[in-house]
Structure formats: structure tokens, C-alpha cells
Amino acid sequence: MLYNTKLITKEDELLVRRPMSECYVNTQYKDKSTPHLEKISRLMEVFRDNDKYDDMFPAFSERKRLLHETEEGVRSMSVEIQRFRTELSL
């Protein structure tokens, strides 16, 4: 199930316009009668769970496995995290 949100200020109930939108996904919702929602739910499970892989998303699952389980992937993630930290400290 998808939840699209809008940010409204509490005091004056004005809609806050932002350059991005938010969408929340309930990964527990397993409605097989709505294939696109089931697919989104399965993909979000792969994002959420470190050891979750899904044959429905082979490229994403393989990339995730590489980043989580190989020395090359761990090294690559370490470089990216350090780069991100450097950018934040500027």
C-alpha cells in the first residue's frame, strides 16, 4: 500500500511546497490482486532487509549482494561514505 503525503503547517494549515515529495510504502501489505503494489512492496523489502534478495529484481539484487558481500563492494561503499562525510563537513 502506498501513502503519498503533503506537508501542512500546523499553525495556519498552509501547504508547504517542497522540491521533493514523499511516498511511504507498507511492505506488510501483500495484495496480489494489485500487481504493481505487490511489486513495489517486494522491492522495498529488498531495500529494507540486508539479507533479502528477490529474483523479480535480479540486477538490483545482484548489485546489492556485491555491495554487501564482496570485498570490492565494501571498499566501494567505504569510499562513497567517506566522500559523503567530506561533502557534509564543507
Of the pLDDT bands very low, low, confident and very high (cuts 50, 70, 90), residue 76 is very high
User: What is the tally of helices (H) and strands (E) in the chain?
Assistant: 3, 2
Q: With beta carbons less than 8 A apart as the criterion, state whether 24 and 42 touch.
A: no
Q: Which among 54, 35, 38, 55 is positioned nearest to 46, based on CA atoms?
A: 54
- Give 6 or 57, the one with higher predicted confidence: 57
pTM for this predicted structure: 0.55
Identify the DSSP state of 22: -
CB 71 within 8 A of CB 78: no
Tens digit of each residue's pLDDT (9 = 90 or more) over 12-59? 766 666 666 667 777 777 777 778 878 888 888 888 888 888 999 999
